Structures are given as C-alpha cells and as structure tokens.
A = this chain, B = another copy of it.
C-alpha cells in the first residue's frame, strides 16, 4: 500500500482514532480561556514533590495514566509511548516512562512535540505495528524558566514579546479499534506533514513566535500543495505557541502566499491565557498545544463543531548554548490532520 503523497505528507488510510485524552495543568492555565475544561489542576507548582522537575514528571504521569483509564484500559495494554518535554535529556518523559513501564520512544521537538508524537504514533497504529499507543508532551514554567533563562529567584521581568511557559501535560491515546470506554468516537487522524527546519535569522530568545511563524507557514503550504486541499476545506488551522505577535506574523506570511486563514485560525499560545492575566504574548511550551488539544480542540471535533482541523505544534530548536554562540533560532512545525468521522 502506498501511503505517500507529495513530498512531505503521509496518509493514514486506516484512520487511527483518538479514543481518549487527558490534560493536567496549573492554576494559571485553569484561570485562562479554557479554564474548567482540564482534567486535573495542580494545587501548587510543586504538586507535593521536592523539586519542580519531579512535579513535572508527576504531572506527566497523571495525564498519561488518566488518558489510559478514561479509555477503560490499564497501562499494560498500551503498546508504546511516544513523548517528549523541554528539559535537558528529556528527563520528564524518561522518568515518567520508568514509572509507567510502557515501551517508550523519546522525542525532542521542543514545543512541536505534540505534533511529532501524533505523527509517529499514527504510523505505528496505521501501519498495523501496534495499538493502542500513547502520545504525550509536557512543560512546566518553573523547570523551563530556570533551565532556559534565569533563576526564578531573580524575578526578572519579561519583555513585551515574551511568552509564558505553560505548566501542563497532555496525553492522547491512539487506537485502531474501539476501547472499553472511548471518550471520543469520532476523532480520526487522517494525514500528517513532516516539518522542515526554517530559520530566517531571528536571534531574540524572547521572540520565539517570530522565529516559528515562517516554519509554520512553510508546513501549511507544503500540506496544501501535497494534498491539493484548499484552505477553505479546513474548518480550523491551529498553531502551537506562536503567541500574539507570531500569530499576526503567520497570518501576514500566509496572506503573502495567497492563503487567507482569517476566521479559521487559532493559536494555542495566544489564546490560552486571558488578556487580564498579563502574560505578554501568551503561552508557550510543549505542554501548551498539548493541553489545549486534549481539553478543547478534540471536543470541538467530537461535537461536530469542527470537521477538519490542521494541527501544527511549533518548535524553536535552539539551546542556551547555541544562543550564546551567536546562532539564530531554527524552527519547525509538523502538521496533523484531525477529522470528524461519523
């Protein structure tokens, strides 16, 4: 069976289903736009643990276990977990995989992880290799901030283009068959487009939306080119965490390519917090698009409000070391097509 189409797009002809999902977040996220829709809200950023890193791992495990439980399954039913986070050496996902005991493939795509895990997880299910598989991504403000920027104790203020790392973990369970309790019965993954690294020379680590917008636009155009779809055949284009400024930039870039996304576009980062929460350009982090997808977006498909969605988690692939060495910020976006099936 030939499932290739165009240069970068893969078709999932058996249409793996998203049968359940779970999201765990902290109080800031629950106070935002999608408040009340998350499964678990951390009482405080340490979640009863001794360090923020252990708290992030516990949050990840909580979301992963809940997604499996909601489907009426146990962890030993899950054939593989594909997951990642923002921490050096992926310690959140690695230690979570140790606790969960599920065969595990670690991914690093920075904030593009949710798309990457869905793309590779869908390959496993669609290709008939194994099912169900768990796709997860997480981030935590306090672990990311001290690793990427400054010690929390410094209390540095954020510039206007900065985004606030979302404390959140999202988990989706993909399956080739009904599970005892499917939370979703109508959400299928039908295609994906692999991202390419795009770098227009942005070096400002506080303006990652601008660095990621061109990569996002590149993947959208590649997807439409590969599939022959036009933009109006999608009800919704979702980007991961371009933020307020990066989202505007994406709409501009798309317009220049004769692509009008107005009225059918949402950025998880720009929308996750309310304006009065004062988080500059919005949210970011691998958990940002993961928790918005798991809590809000899948439900829109299930409720038939959205019939076809292009979901693009977006990642900025620099490191503090590459930044200090004067490198610009390479970015990537992988696209996943989520469709309503009756």
A103 in the interface (beta carbon within 8 A): yes
Task: Known contacts A1-B128, A98-B197, A107-B106; decide if A320 and B88 are in contact (CB<8 Å).
Answer: yes
Most chain B CB neighbours (cut-off 10 Å) among A95, A97, A106, A195: A106
B97 with A197: CB separation less than 8 A:
yes
Contact of A130 among B4, B104, B199 (CB under 8 A): B4
A108 contacts B110, C-beta separation under 8 Å: no
Instruction: Report yes or no: B3 in contact with A79, Cβ–Cβ below 8 A.
Output: no
- In the assembly, how many copies of this chain are there? 2
Task: Kindly supply a per-residue 1/0 record for chain A positions 94-119, scoring 1 wherever the CB is within 8 Å of any chain B CB and 0 otherwise.
Answer: 11011001111111111000001001
Binding stretch for chain B, among A40-48, A167-175, A291-299, A325-333: A325-333
Interface status of A70 (Cβ within 8 A of chain B) = no
Contacts of A18 in B (CB 8 A): none
Q: Is A19 an interface residue (CB 8 A)?
A: no
Min CB distance, A318 to chain B, in Å? 7
Enumerate 6 A-B pairs (CB-CB under 8 Å) in ascending A order. A4-B131, A80-B194, A88-B88, A91-B322, A94-B318, A101-B196
Q: Is the CB of A89 within 8 A of B196?
A: no
CB contact under 8 A between A321 and B79, given known A101-B196, A124-B123, A129-B10:
no
A319 interface residue (CB < 8 Å to B):
yes
Judged by a CB distance under 8 angstroms, whether A120 is at the interface is yes
- Within 8 Å of chain B (Cβ to Cβ): is A39? no
Q: Which residues of chain B are within 8 angstroms of A88 by Cβ–Cβ distance?
A: 88-89, 319-321
**A53 adjacent to chain B (CB < 8 Å):** yes
A33, CB-defined interface residue at 8 Å: no
Cross-chain contact of A8 among B3, B10, B103 (Cβ < 8 A): B103
Docked Cα-Cα span, A3 to B127, in Å, equals 8
Q: Return the chain B residue nearest A320 by Cβ.
A: B88
Given contacts A94-B197, A107-B108, A319-B87, contact A79 B129 (CB under 8 A): no
A317 within 8 A of B: yes
> Which are the 8 A-B pairs with shortest beta-carbon distances?
A89-B319, A127-B127, A103-B194, A94-B317, A98-B197, A108-B108, A10-B129, A88-B88
Residues of B within 8 A of A104 (CB): 194-197, 332
Chain B residues within 8 Å of A194, by CB:
80, 103-105, 130
The docked-state distance in angstroms from the alpha carbon of A4 to that of B88 is: 33
A105 and B104 alpha carbons, distance in the complex (Å): 16
Q: Which residues of B contact A90 (CB under 8 A)?
A: 108, 317
CB <8 Å contact, B321 and A87: yes
Closest Cβ neighbor of A110 among chain B residues: B89
- CB-CB under 8 A from A106, the residues of chain B are 107-109, 116, 317, 332
Q: Is the CB of B319 within 8 A of A79?
A: no
- How long is the Cα–Cα vector from A90 to B322 in the complex, in angstroms? 10
Question: In this complex, what residue of B is CB-closest to A327?
Answer: B95
